[in-house]
Chain A
């Protein structure tokens, strides 16, 4: 079974631009979560999508948004990029995540650098 894939793996943008990152979950998984990892703040939860609906959201500004398609693939978008958005963006998928028991499987991440 293929793991979680994320594209692109590396990205360089400039301040003020916007960026879209993509995540393909493990086949059969319906929940996709996004995380931001920085040296200063560590791993922080961004949001979770399940059946094309945002089910949960972390504490990030509205510049961070996402969506999920009918095939469970997900994209996240960051608008008006700031230097502080430079980070590793991780995507994780799970079957449903409803019970608190579901193991989340993480992708390798997309390394975003904002200049």
Chain B
């Protein structure tokens, strides 16, 4: 399975942008980059996904490097509710597109 590397933790001030990095140097051409987050005491929730191009939705933006070996999840204006563990996941056909969660990045948002 293709693997991802994320920082263990990050901290941000409320109402500031947050850039959460993810390295996936062994990504293959057909791997999709997905981001999920897990708020305290809840199940994970989908944030965003992409293949090659940058993506935007109401929750966040996903910036994918040209060589696809890394990506960045961007929260444009962090709120206290965004404090969660963020998981960067590669979904590939070899693993049946299973969500193989790594350790993720624990994001702390301070007022």
Contacts and interface: CB of A to CB of B under 8 A. Distances in A.
Interface string B74-109: 000000000000010001110111111111100000
Contacts of A58: 98
- The majority secondary structure among interface residues of chain B is loop
B45 A33 contact: no
A4 to B, nearest CB: 8
Interface residues of B, number: 24
Contacts of A35: 99, 101
B21 interface: no
Contacts of B101: 35, 42-45
Contacts of B43: 4, 90, 92, 106-109
A55 interface: yes
Nearest to B104: A42
B49 to A, nearest CB: 7
Nearest to A6: B43
Interface residues of A, number: 26
Interface string A45-57: 1001000000110
Given A90-B44, A107-B43, 17 more contacts: A33-B98, A35-B101, A42-B102, A42-B103, A43-B87, A43-B101, A45-B99, A56-B96, A56-B98, A90-B43, A97-B97, A98-B97, A100-B97, A103-B49, A104-B44, A104-B46, A108-B43
Q: Which 5 A-B pairs have the closest CB atoms?
A: A106-B43, A56-B96, A43-B101, A103-B46, A100-B97
